[in-house]
Amino acid sequence: MPIPVIDEQSFRSEVLQSQLPVLIAFHSDRSAASKSVEPELEALGHEMEGKAHVVKVSVEKSPSIVQSLRIKSVPTFMVFMKGRPVDAQEGPLRRPQLKAMLEPFLPRAQGSILAPEMAQLLQQGQVVPVDIREAAVFNRAHLPGAISLPEEEIENRLAELHMLTGEPVLYCRGGERAKALSEKLTAQGMPVAFLEGGVLAWESEGLPLERPD
């Protein structure tokens, strides 16, 4: 799906008044570097649907925007949040770099912890990862310092969560099961955090797993 092009008439409504974060790609039709990032932008736009807007601004067709934001080269990427620019980078960035620009401003579910945050908290000894996958999967590979508490057993073993040396953080492979379980336990009066994106997000950040012999 093509990335929407914003002009000087629509900039206010589509960017300044947006309730979601907006990533703007300032581009030129004459720039090979601008064209090279098109597939990255389209993939990111699809991934961010409902969470953030990904749009383009032509430097030739919207000179007033370019001048007011002091855009000096293409491609330049800028993130707007609540009508204000909050980040900007120049050059032909790839999808992970573009996503990293948006991530601090994305709407997050209650109790969610991102992988880099989790790694820092783990290093500080403030959290204990709780693996809710099957025990056999846990035994193959798991987050450092994690304990195994399979999803189907956890409600009968809640006392174990209170006995941990740090705050429990639930995780699964992709994050959805841990999120659902976190919401269920929170509704029952026991708020528990979960790892956003699960093991997949952890590995995508280049963070290590423990693999028992």
DSSP assignment of 111-174 equals TEE-HHHHHHHHHTT-EEEEE-S-HHHHHH-B-TT-EE--TTTGGG-HHHHHTSSSEEEEE-SS
Q: What is the pLDDT of residue 3?
A: 95
Per-chain mean pLDDT for the chain: 94
Q: Domain 112-204's class? A: alpha beta
Q: What is the pLDDT of residue 104?
A: 84
Q: What is the pLDDT of residue 105?
A: 87
174-to-48, 129, 171, 190, 194 alpha-carbon distances in Å: 16, 14, 8, 22, 11
Angle between helices 95-102 and 38-47 (to 10 degrees): 40
For the chain, domain boundaries: 11-105, 112-204
102-130 in b/e form (b: 16+ CB < 10 A) is bbebbeeeebbbbbeebbebbeeeebbbb
Residue matched to tokens 């770099």: 97
Q: What is the pLDDT of residue 65?
A: 97
Find, among 77, 41, 43, 47, the residue nearest to 59 by Cα.
Answer: 77
112, amino acid identity: S
**pTM score, two decimals?**
0.59
Q: What is the pLDDT of residue 51?
A: 87
Q: What CATH number belongs to 11-105?
A: 3.40.30.10
Show the low-confidence residues of the chain (pLDDT under 70): 1, 213
70-to-22, 64, 88, 109 alpha-carbon distances in Å: 18, 10, 11, 35
Question: What CA–CA distance (Å, rounded) separates 59 from 163?
Answer: 58
- Which residues are CB-neighbours of 36 under 8 A, at least 6 positions away? 92
Tell me which DSSP letter residue 105 carries.
G
